[in-house]
Structure 1
Amino acid sequence: MAEKNLTRVMEFILLGFSDLPNLQEYLFGIFLVIYLSILIGNGLLIFITKTDPALQTPMYFFLGNFSFLEICYTSVTLPRMLADLWTQKRTISFVECAVQACFLYILGVAECLLLTVMAYDRYVAICKPLYYPLIMTHKVCIQMVLASWMTGVPVLIEQTYQIFSLNFCGPNKINHIFCDCQPLFKLVCGDTYKILVSTYVVALIFILSPFLLIITSYVKIISTIMKLPSTSGRSKAFSTCSSHIIVVGLFYGSACIVYFSPESSESGVADKVLALLYTIVTPIFNPLIYSLRNKDVIAAMRTLLPKSPRS
């Protein structure tokens, strides 16, 4: 027993999609195309929001930063998943797993907070239009973006340290596509009640609370829009918010289901599908949603695209 207690897991095995051996090459090709699409689509949005004079507003400043965040967020998990599909190795060291989880949490929380900031920007623009230039100055926008990136960092580093300080002394197979707290807790030797409570508290603060702030903002926004006298004014106001609402629904909907749903025997399969939803689907649809539903972005792309054939 003493010898068993001294044994500690030094590496994990990410099972991923190992239960689909005949589809490994197809999955690699699909996820490679998805990753390149995310890089190109969000990269194009960043370029347009930085260079087009018509898009030098707080709304597009936040959109450019959100697109950059999407690239970073996806890059924490997808390259590793592609490598596992290509090499069939699937092993990840204890330290690499901790680093991946830590960056995943930090960037995920940054995305929650930045989506909240974007909702606040729409709230000020629609509910307090006369004060908008005074409130949403460039300095304030930079401060909001930095706060979104940095606010959760100390707490999440500490939380990751607490998770990986647990006693992993038995099985080392993680039934997931990346290192995350839920499948990791199943490998812990000992009581996980305290760390589970701590994890849910952090999730409530950094996932659910921003979501409630977004809901509150849009309740006030919709209330203000409905009071507008002209139909065209209401339509324009709704169109400026619709893209953000869709992205919020995609990201928060899947994340809340993953982290607040009760455990079941099939939770491994469900978690993989939902993890793909909020780590891949949201980043890949973000450029499409904003480009197809935003007249300013469409106009910026039209001025950009014809330049290459003429040159």
Structure 2
Amino acid sequence: MTIITLTFVDSHLKTPVYFFFTNVSLEISFTSSCIPRYLYSIATGDRVIAYNASVIQVSFTDLCGVAEFFLLATMSYDCYVPVCKSLHSVTIMSNRVCRILIIFCWMAGLCVLIPPLSLGLNLKFCDSNKIDHFGCDAFPLLKISCSDTWLKEQMVIICAVLTLNMTLICVVLSYACIIKTILRFRSAQQRKKPFLTCSSHMRVVSITYGTCIFIYLNPTAKGEVTIKKVVSLLIFS
């Protein structure tokens, strides 16, 4: 909220990079879709969640999570433009282009979410109703369902693979061009500034992609989820 407020108040922060930072900061909706429920359960000891509430939680967390990958890919392009196209960066990353990219990120997240969510709404739970996870997520829900979940598992994996691959390719290509351009600089001081500018984004990309590849590219949801629970904490942190 501090980042969002400062970006709107300070006129010096009306730049594409801070515009994208503001939208990434909107992942407050990502954490707020589950963290308040966690705190409530810890404070009251009530660990029961209604079916409708679980569906809403899965929908919001997955939508914000998928949109974040596209935002990270867009931010990698925003890092690429000032380094590799410095003379045309203002024209390329205009306010109109930035708004279009942001709308695309959220619409892409919605398009990726709809197919697996529509298949998951007809799940039947006739045995266990205990979710072996901190919150409601796709694989923990599939694990306790007594329906045939093979198609749904494959749909989740396909959507995860497409999202990760498409966005990761954009990130890798952007940083490949950035590194290639930086290596052409003659002085170490000229090379240092672009690396410092991109380093924070690279760390976020590494943690986000690493944890989600580990969680969502497992071939089956019926397997062990204990390790996935621990790794998932990295996403919410």
In the other structure, the counterpart of 2:107 is 150
Match of 1:60 among 1, 13, 18: 18
Q: What is the deviation of 1:91?
A: 0.9
Contact 1:116/1:210 (8 A) holds in 2? yes
Unpaired runs of 5+ residues, structure 1, are: 1-42, 282-311
Contact 2:64/2:109 (8 A) holds in 1? no
Match of 2:200 among 224, 243, 253: 243
Q: In 2 relative to 1, CA 261–197 (structure 1 residues): closer, same or farther, beyond 3 Å? A: closer
Q: What is the deviation of 1:73?
A: 0.8
Q: In the alignment, does 2:26 pair up with 1:100?
A: no
Q: In 2 relative to 1, CA 207–264 (structure 1 residues): closer, same or farther, beyond 3 Å? A: closer
What is the one-letter code of the residue matched to 2:97?
V
Q: In 2 relative to 1, CA 107–171 (structure 1 residues): closer, same or farther, beyond 3 Å? A: same
TM-score, length of structure 1 as denominator length: 0.72
Match of 2:3 among 39, 42, 45: 45
Contact 1:163/1:195 (8 A) holds in 2? yes
Q: In 2 relative to 1, CA 194–261 (structure 1 residues): closer, same or farther, beyond 3 Å? A: closer
Contact 1:46/1:67 (8 A) holds in 2? yes
In the other structure, the counterpart of 1:85 is 42
In the other structure, the counterpart of 1:5 is none
Q: What is the deviation of 1:53?
A: 2.6
Partner Cα distance (1:218, 1:262) in 2: 30
Partner Cα distance (1:253, 1:155) in 2: 20
Q: What is the deviation of 1:263?
A: 5.7
Sequence identity percentage: 37
Q: In the alignment, does 2:83 pair up with 1:126?
A: yes
Q: What is the deviation of 1:54?
A: 2.4
**Paired residues for 1:180-259 under 5 Å:** 180-259=137-216
Q: What is the deviation of 1:266?
A: 8.1
1:174 aligned counterpart, secondary structure: coil
Between structure 1 and structure 2, the one with the greater Rg is: 1
In the other structure, the counterpart of 1:172 is 129
Partner Cα distance (2:232, 2:4) in 1: 25
Q: What is the deviation of 1:267?
A: 3.2
Q: In 2 relative to 1, CA 190–53 (structure 1 residues): closer, same or farther, beyond 3 Å? A: closer
Match of 2:234 among 277, 282, 287: 277
Q: What is the deviation of 1:98?
A: 0.8
Contact 1:101/1:180 (8 A) holds in 2? yes
1:250-299 per-residue CA deviation (whole Å, 9 max, x = no partner) reads 211111111124569983321221111111x2xxxxxxxxxxxxxxxxxx
Unpaired runs of 5+ residues, structure 2, are: none
Partner Cα distance (2:21, 2:186) in 1: 29
* Matched length: 237
Contact 1:126/1:237 (8 A) holds in 2? yes
In the other structure, the counterpart of 2:93 is 136
Match of 2:119 among 162, 165, 169: 162
Over the residues paired in the alignment, what is the CA RMSD in angstroms?
A: 1.8
1:91 aligned counterpart, secondary structure: coil
Q: What is the deviation of 1:212?
A: 2.4
161-170 or 259-268: which moved more? 259-268
1:70-116 per-residue CA deviation (whole Å, 9 max, x = no partner) reads 21111011001111111111111111111110111110011000011
Contact 1:50/1:64 (8 A) holds in 2? no
Q: In the alignment, does 2:180 pair up with 1:260?
A: no
Partner Cα distance (1:269, 1:232) in 2: 46
Q: Which has the higher contact order (CA 8 A, sep 6+)?
A: 1
TM-score, length of structure 2 as denominator length: 0.94
Partner Cα distance (1:99, 1:149) in 2: 17
